[in-house]
Chains A and B, each alone.
Chain A
Amino acid sequence: MDFAQPITWVFTSLALVIAYTGFRVVTSGNLIHSALALVFSLAGTAGLFLLLSAEFVAWVLVLVYMGAVMVLFLFGIMITKAPVGYDAELDNEHKGPALVAAVSVFVLMSWSTILAFDGQEMSSLGVPTATEDLADALLGRFVLPFEIVSFVLLAALVGGITLARKDNSPAEEEMS
């Protein structure tokens, strides 16, 4: 890494924020703090995407993840009557094996990426991908997956409502 370039400093500070808040998500003893740490981790990721010239994906991340999904998560935490405040019982007794698995995956992945990609540069930095190009690809080459994913969203919508609603359907009430 060349620390004479400003982009290296921007990346380093973003990476520190992302890594620390990502660490807090899984280690914090407070459910709400954990969810809010994920918000900061995602905000750092959006900044990293801006740095990596992926403007549209960065704003989609801000809107969908930080806007919608995090509200859903906080809603889920509140509605399951989770203890708000510090809770020592948040982690189970498998912390040791979990730590071993996480550390070995990290060592394996970083070792193999260093072996495979050491010395390769990201060349397109500073030239944002035009949203127009993304739209052309999304509605041209990738139009079938795009339609399928919209169907997946519809199915998730219907499934979520069906699973979460309280009352039985009229047909079931007639039977009982």
Chain B
Amino acid sequence: MPIVPVLILAAFLFSMGIYGLLARRNAVMVLLAVELMLNAVNINLVAFEAMWLDSMASGQIFSIFIITVAAAEVGIGLAIVLMIFRNSHSANLDDFATMKG
């Protein structure tokens, strides 16, 4: 099976993630869009692994690392959103403009 369709699917998911990152108002939705982008990168890594047959299985190892770091990122990100929500009673990113000059 050719590799290009898989890469184009990953590129589509990545651009959907960019759209969500820029167009969403809710902080949790922005984190969801980031997950979509990380998932696209995982698809790319596994597809290249299946193409080049690395003896170390580096592509799959790296995608496991990405999944782990993404889990940590979601934990920290939601804790930050929770703390901001407690202080400003909003999860709306447009309201977080206290550092705007």
Q: Give chain B nearest CB distance to A16 CB in angstroms.
A: 10
Select one of B9, B15, B35, B76 contacting A38, CB under 8 A.
B35
Residue of B nearest to A75 (CB): B78
**Is there an interface contact between B50 and A124, defined as CB atoms closer than 8 Å?**
yes
Question: With A35-B32, A149-B65 in contact, is A98–B18 under 8 Å at CB?
Answer: yes
CA distance A121 to B4 in the complex (A): 9
Q: A98: which B residues are within 8 A, CB to CB? A: 18-19, 21-23
A77 lies within 8 A of B28 (CB) = yes
CA distance A14 to B87 in the complex (A): 42
Contact mask B40-57 → A, CB, 8 Å, 1/0?
001100110111010011
> Assuming A117-B4, A166-B86, is B74 touching A149 (CB within 8 A)?
no
A22-B85 Cα distance, complex, nearest whole Å:
27
- Chain A residues with Cβ below 8 Å from B26 are 31, 80, 82, 90
Docked-complex contact A60 and B67, CB < 8 angstroms:
yes
Question: Counting CB contacts under 8 A, is B75 at the interface?
Answer: yes
List chain B residues, Cβ under 8 A from A101: 18-19, 22
Q: Top 3 nearest A-B pairs by Cβ distance? A: A26-B20, A98-B22, A156-B72
